[in-house]
Structure 1
Amino acid sequence: MTPAQPVILGEMPSLSKLYVNAAATAARRRVLGTHAGNGLPATRHEVRGVKAAVENLTAYQHLIGESASDVLPAGFVHALAFPLAMSVMNRDDFPLPLLGMIHLQNRVVQSEPLRFTDALDIRSWSEDLRGHRAGTQLDVVTEVRRTGEDAVSWRGVSTYLAKGVYLPGIDKPSAAPAPAAFSAPDPTALWQLGVDTGRAYAAVSGDFNPIHLSVLSAKALGMRRSIAHGMYLASRALADVGAAKGDAFSWDVSFEAPVFLPARVALDINTTQGDDGAWQRSDYVAWNARSGRKHFSGSVAAL
């Protein structure tokens, strides 16, 4: 359900300023011993008339491995809208700490293609605050429309976990069953990810989260090395599925283990076709090519 109270922003927020503000908010709450309460803000943030920069689109397509096109890749739309979603989690009345939030899942429904010439209205809000065995989780919903149109062209739901944060009044679920044993199949692709992968994605997405940029900045936030952006990995897998997915599709990804940089990541894509030979669905899974540990998995399906 979309929150009824809109907050209209004049322009897309600056991610760097949001990260600085999040750090200041976390420090203030630690010193004062305060928090923002136990409920999510009943508001949505909106920006209208957003346009993609063609140079960013071109650089993104090159980095991810998408074919050059005036169509915005589904992962690029996520990156374009991400600052607005971040601004929702950066509110003073948002109950969980933004820094250190773990991205668990992402679910996207793209109903029609969007092009870089389109002006876009973007709205975002948070919902479904709930317990997790390791802390508290929630969903951040983002919808994208062409300016002046009612139909939603792109809708994303990102699930985040605030690890180790337990809010009063929110039940902690029972322990989850052990995950099924993973046996790596024969890969269809092998990615060589350099230590600069996080910085390269940050340059095209604007997401300069310190855990992705360098060993030193990642260690400052408790990571042993920098890690690849989850949406970089998922978007690259989507690009490997290719043009067969068409213009309207659903796209899901679940993240299980971080990819510490540098890395060799193996990927397997299993495609299902209908009786007429048309593409229906692709399931993908990625793992550490050396240890065999699963990093993420997901699917792309025709609408």
Structure 2
Amino acid sequence: MAVAWHSRRNLEGWVTDALHYAAEGWRHSVQISEYGWGHRETPNDDPFVVPEICFHLPTFRIMLRASDTPERALFWLLILVIEELKGFEYRWAMSYFGLTYETATIYPDKRHRVADSKLQTSREEIRELVYKEVFETLVGYLCEGAPDYGPSPLPEIASIEQELKQVLKDGLPVGPQFATADLVGLLPDEEVLAELFDGPHPLGPAARLNTFLTHEINHFTVDKWRDAARILFACAPGYKGSTLTRRREGAALTIPGNRATTTTGKREESSMSERHFRGEIEPKIVASLAWQLYAKKLGERDDYLRSS
């Protein structure tokens, strides 16, 4: 699941959930060493996966550069921030997260008992401490340097394909009704988008979407279908406002290996039927374009993570 947050409090909520998972989502099968946690499993015997929110935190990414796995990066980061705690809070937090030799190989609920017996504190007092004080302190350290809002989650590939099929019916340019949340969500940042405009920068989402889609289709990554894609989406000269059937016929003529035949008059027709093109080639063009748009936005988000 992609994570996104719109406020500091929202971010801290994500990180709090991740800490609970880190402490209570692991089984006792871990082997701890000077290098960090060894093999850890979830209660369902699935390999532990570092929560995605961690990769958005500058503190975690710095530790990740010095570690060979995300698990060890999280291990050492937790120890680092827990060391900022003092006395009772430090000892309990180390036990709670299974960061000591004594608690690393037992279930989370038994870790609580170890902490209770050593510190002679009731279970209720321990839980109140961890939720109100320890977690608040740890989350504060972990979120240090992180932005107050995060990247929006990306739409599903299947949703992008469906939206592109709607655009395909009339071709480009599209009207405001086609500026859906999924397609507008794929638009690049303002600085990148501004480079695509020769004149004044339009404010409307439909105008931005038309410019962006035209640019991406003109730079379609599948070379052998680039001309077909330009005709199919009415980006090529002479096809703006034409019917989808005419655009399919024109696109079929550009497919490598397809023979062109001349019938009555000077009209050029394709030996590939419009039905064959629509059923075999067109879906692949749409799917490839959807992946191209998705990958570009994903790359932009990765750049954001590296620079934040």
TMscore range, shorter length = under 0.3
User: Scaled by the length of structure 1, what TM-score is found?
Assistant: 0.19
Q: TM-score, normalised to structure 2's length?
A: 0.19
**Per residue, is there more helix in 1 or in 2?**
2
Higher strand share: 1
